[in-house]
Amino acid sequence: MKILVTGGAGFIASHVADAYLKEGHDVIVVDNLSTGKKDHVSHNVRFYHSSIESPEVFQILEKEKPDLVNHHAAQIDVRKSVENPCYDAGVNIVGSLNLFEAARKSGVKKFVFASTGGAIYGEQDAYPADESHRTDPQSPYGIAKLSVEKYLQFYFWTYGIPFVCLRYANVYGPRQNAHGEAGVVAIFTEKLLKGETPVIYGDGTQTRDYVFVEDVAACNLEALKEGVKGIFNVGTGIETDVNTLAGHLLQLTSSDIKIPHAPAKPGEQKRSVLKPGVLQKDSPLSLQAGLTKTVEWFRSRC
């Protein structure tokens, strides 16, 4: 199968592209390298340095004519979306529509979209949340992700193009960016390995569902299968608070740094945890095992 992966130089999508390559698929990557890194892209893929908002996407899709588009390119910083919702919508909604129109006109047969769990469900009524949980996004980022899901429904109803939306929990692992649009695991790990002091915002009892990136890539493989369509969670069903996460990382990095607390960030969710979807065929990697792999990767680069 010929697959175009947007954002394929980034943290999650580069693992997805590698998984597709390993299974023998023909992979094309489109990435503007605003946060991704070219060295995350295998030499076995065709790479286009371009943005999903660009008219050039139409030319790329017309030239390559992929069977499937896996869409990961996005503005992924929730706080940045709050500060500048127009920019967030320009990339995450308008950019996605630009991509979908180019894909439709080139004859794409299926979409796979990297959505979000916690930011779409908002403050949960049930723990863990399954895919039937009400959607109540409380940030422009979450609103944009839900909007794109709705637009994919439009493309299915109107043009018959099936889609898979993967609602990710908090993804972590090797290649995660420790700067800018970063996750707590990457930030804490890099700082601790460098002897620097990370900060816990709030009292540290806020919880998240941490899912290892290779488990996420496996779900993207399942999404390729014929007849697979709809919306699926990708998580572990296990809540871990920030204090506990910090404790694991202190141990794994052999650090004795005392991590201070700072005032909580406005609007931060208190709890978020997803019930794993049916595309997760294997039990998720344990947090301890995943953090061990992640720390080893960061240590090799510090």
Question: What are the residue numbers of the active site?
Answer: 141
End-to-end Cα, the chain, rounded Å? 37
Range 91-96 contact pairs with CB under 8 angstroms and sequence separation of 24 or more: 91/52, 91/53, 92/141, 92/144, 92/145, 92/147, 92/148, 93/144, 93/147, 93/148, 93/151, 94/53, 95/51, 95/52, 95/53, 96/52, 96/71, 96/148, 96/151
Say if strands 110-116 and 46-49 run parallel, antiparallel, or are unpaired: unpaired
Residue of 220, 121, 241, 202 whose CA lies nearest to 169: 121
Look at the block and give the residue holding tokens 């969710």: 269
